[in-house]
Structure 1
Amino acid sequence: MTVLTQSPAKPGDAGGPAGGGRRLVDMVLRARELSILGALIVLVVATTIANPRFLSEQGVKDIFLNASILALLAVGQTMVVVTRNIDLSVGSVVGLVAFVSGKYASSGDRNLVLIALVGVAIGLACGLVNGLLVSFCKVPALVVTLGTLYVIQGLDHYIAHGEQIGAADLPSALLSLGNDAVLGIPYLPIITVLVMLVIGFYLRSYSSGREFYAIGSSPEAASLAGVPIRRRVLTAYLVSGGLAGLAGVLWLARFGTVVADAAHGWELKVVSAVVVGGVAIVGGTGTVYGAALGALLLTTIGSVLVVLKVTPFWQDAITGVLLLLAITVDRLLALRVTRVLRARGRKMRRTRDAA
């Protein structure tokens, strides 16, 4: 989509076509997020009618706990995808961080903050490698992150040597982070929501945050406007890697027992959550809130199928259908928005010529 570059008027000018385009895109995004929320509500109500125990206190807690890590990864992935890139290494980073931070935590009475810093530092290092190769070396993101996916997996297995980390080896403070709550709300969803709000506010309210969308909408126009494309793409990968590192620590805290292939295959779940949440795979549009809702929807579908005793095969099948549907809807909406903006531009030109 090129809605940010179709008029010389200032993007914030409500009277110009760019301002109208932004309002139109915002309206479409809100509609996508509301539709996801509506589908989620319908799914929960229908399942509760079929099995009233689905909405028990423990059932709701499990859904939010299970969705927290996926939503956190989806938030980081969103920053990458809006710049027309992708990060397929996040699942491997989670596995590596979960095991390495678990080894570090079990080697002595480690402080919780230090454990988290170790995990985030490993994630940032992985994000830095991805970001440098994509932004400065101009290697396609799909190739880079697919390669680092396998490299990180191999490194994880080399470090693990078939070893398993058990909950009995971990500090009680770390396990409390993954299972305890404040005012009845588990810590993990609180952390995810805080991260989502901070990044969502930054992308929406700061000019540097909006530059990520400008890059995804039209890299050529963004370059002409003076946007530091390489720096922004590198930043996106650093954020994605750092959040994957944090997710690895939370994975360790949540499950306690960790082996070398933790979060194996999660990169596809993360991309699915982002796309289902309304983030355009071609970049330029989408919000972290929609991505988080997409993660919650996919997690809820998995819980529903378990409650209804449906074979796990259907979870993957439904996820695939939702992914195809989301991409199709995104394409149709993009074409619709483009037509509307072109019609508005022609109307304004006719009005200006008549004057």
Structure 2
Amino acid sequence: MSATVTRAASAGDTAVAVVRRVARARETGIALALVVVIVAATAANPGFVFSGDGFRDLLLTPSLLLLVAVGQAFVIITRSVDLSVGSIVGLTAYLTGRLFIDTPGIPMVAVFFGGILLGGLLGAINGVLVAWAKVPALVITLGTMYVYRGLNVAWTGSDRINASDLPRDFRGLGTQQVIGIPVLTVIAVAVLIAAAWYLRNRRGGREFYAIGSDPSAAHLYGLKVSSRIITAFVVSGALSGLAGVLYAARYGTVSSAAGTGWELQAIGAAVIGGVAISGGVGTVWGAAIGAFLLLTINRALPILGIDDFWQRAVVGVLIIGSIVLDRVLAVRQHRRLVAQREEAR
């Protein structure tokens, strides 16, 4: 009897601990903010959610940015940043169209592989320059952002990919649904779950956090800092490549402007989602919720009658507020650790 009571009490304590952990998580606050935005927009216009297109767009629109934000989170966790992701999306989106046009009958899987491979290769270039040349990631990726975009413009020229150039089955990925959920959203969530599992459960994932928290200590501990940084950029590039392929499926039309501005949106989504710009803190779950919040706000504010200027201002305030909050939490944690050390003495 006592053993049963003990187990029940232990289970209750565990449940309480889980609830407290979830309540204190940054991701919970961002998720609640997302819910508030959706409720407010739905109250103003029920079609925002309660219509076929409204519900579909609510899930579909942020899916591509989610992929890019997850890759960006890997890089930011290691105390770097990747400004070239938008250009990579544009390059791989155009590559996707050219593969279908220049190679009739090419398998869809081969096209996906080609886009991810190109994205990973461009990400590897970034990683090698950052890790081995010891040049700040902000400077390197700012340069490669313009280089990759220039290559895209030179390759595309005045040409563009039209929906009629793409196979019907491929275009169908942008509209098909599984149990009412868009296929692109299913793909994005599958990638999100895999990335979250890796960062939480694998040694390599935990090493990303160690490097971002203190690169010098990680070197002294014997971690392969350079290879991990390169890996983070490869992941970022590969996911941007995947997003580029899905961009072509989603929109059908691809020009040299595809992906423009996505780098700032991805960084904003990650930061809003609790990924500290100083590295070592945050989750891909937060980056994903940040992507949903960012694009849902962009859709919701016009419905609420808010001018375009204020739409951009709201996003800016969210980013600044997230950075300030990260700083405040870091200072509080430092003071708590100092207090605990003094008590131990």
TM-score clears 0.5: yes
1:287 aligns with 2:280: no
- Tell me the TM-score normalized by structure 2: 0.91
C-alpha deviation, 1:132, in angstroms: 0.4
Verify the 8 A CA contact 1:29 1:286 in the aligned structure 2: no
Q: Quote the residue 2:87 is aligned against.
A: 92
Partner of 2:73: 78
Q: Does 1:50 align with 2:40?
A: no
Match among 293, 310, 333 for residue 306 of structure 2:
310
Give the match's secondary structure for 2:88: helix
CA distance in 2, matches of 1:44, 1:182: 22
Q: Is 1:64 matched up with 2:48?
A: no
1:253 matched residue in structure 2: 249
Q: Conserved in 1, the CA contact under 8 Å of 2:59 and 2:181? A: no
Residue 120 of structure 1: how far off its partner (Å): 0.6
- Tell me how far apart the structure 2 counterparts of residues 239 and 87 of structure 1 sit (CA, whole Å): 11
Offset at residue 207 of structure 1 (A):
1.7
CA shift digits 1:15-58 (9 cap, x unpaired): xxxxxxxx9xx959952110001111111112211211111232
Give the aligned residue type for 1:261: A
Aligned to 1:189: 185
Match of 1:235 among 231, 237, 240: 231
RMSD: 1.6
1:16 — aligned with what? Answer: none
> Matches of 1:93 and 1:133 in 2, distance apart?
16
Where in structure 2 are the equivalents of 1:318-329 lying within 5 Å? 318-329=314-325
* Equivalent residue, structure 2, for 1:177: 173
CA contact (8 A) 2:49 2:58 kept: no
Which one-letter code corresponds to 1:59 in the other structure?
A: G
Counterparts of 1:41 and 1:182 in 2: how far apart (Å)?
A: 23
Show CA shifts across 1:105-151 (max 9, x none).
Answer: 12312211011111111101110100000011111101110000000
Alignment of 1:124-135 (within 5 A): 124-135=120-131
1:273–1:291 CA contact under 8 A, matched in 2: yes
CA distance in 1, matches of 2:41, 2:127: 42
* Equivalent residues of 1:110, 1:171 under 8 A apart: no
Unaligned stretches of 5+ residues in structure 1: 1-22, 351-355
Structure 2 gap segments, 5+ residues each = 1-16
| Preserved contact between residue 70 and residue 288 of structure 2 (Cα < 8 Å) | yes
Contact 1:65 1:188 in 2 (8 A): yes
Q: Please tell me whether residue 118 in structure 1 is matched to residue 85 in structure 2.
A: no
Which amino acid is the alignment partner of residue 331 of structure 2? L
| Percent identity of equivalent pairs | 48
**Aligned counterparts of 2:74 and 2:24: Cα–Cα separation in 1:** 18
Q: Which of 18, 21, 30 is the matching residue for 1:36?
A: 30
TM-score normalised by L of structure 1? 0.89
- Please say if 1:270 is aligned against 2:266: yes
Deviations 1:52-97 (A, max 9, x none): 1111232121121110011110100001001100000000000111
What letter is aligned with 2:263? E
Q: CA deviation at 1:329?
A: 0.6
Q: Distance in 2 between matches of 1:255 and 1:306?
A: 22
CA contact (8 A) 2:44 2:303 kept: no
User: Are 1:335 and 2:331 counterparts?
Assistant: yes
